[in-house]
Amino acid sequence: MKKFEAQKRLREESSIQDILKIIIKENKLDYGINSLDVREAWRNLLGPGIANYTLDIILKRDVLYVALSSPIVREELTYGKSKIIKMINEELRRDVIRDIIFR
């Protein structure tokens, strides 16, 4: 783990938010945090009805893979794919997802 330089620490004032962003980026934790955030946003935005049919959610780079137990639900969600991407990215306040693949 990299340490902050003592001189930099003494000369600059940083908010806790900025320090946490640096730590997350240097330790490459942003992927795991994005994955957890996407799972939570999926449940919140699509509700318990869709969550019951959701078997697994995997984020690989900027593609979200969603395994569903119902082919009917899969087909319906495919029609609203771009809207779902937009809703999740707006919920997270950053562009995490570029595409969704329903399985």
User: Per the structure block, which two tokens stand in for 77?
Assistant: 């969600």
> What's the whole-model pTM score?
0.75
Domain boundaries, the chain: 16-102
Q: For 16-102, give the CATH class.
A: alpha beta
The sign one gets for the Cα dihedral 86, 89, 92, 94 is: negative
The low-confidence residues of the chain, meaning pLDDT below 50, are 1, 6-7, 10
Query: Residue 50 is encoded by which pair of tokens?
Result: 């869709």
**Tokens for 25?**
């980026």
Mean pLDDT of the chain: 87
Paired sense of beta strands 99-102 and 63-68, if any: parallel
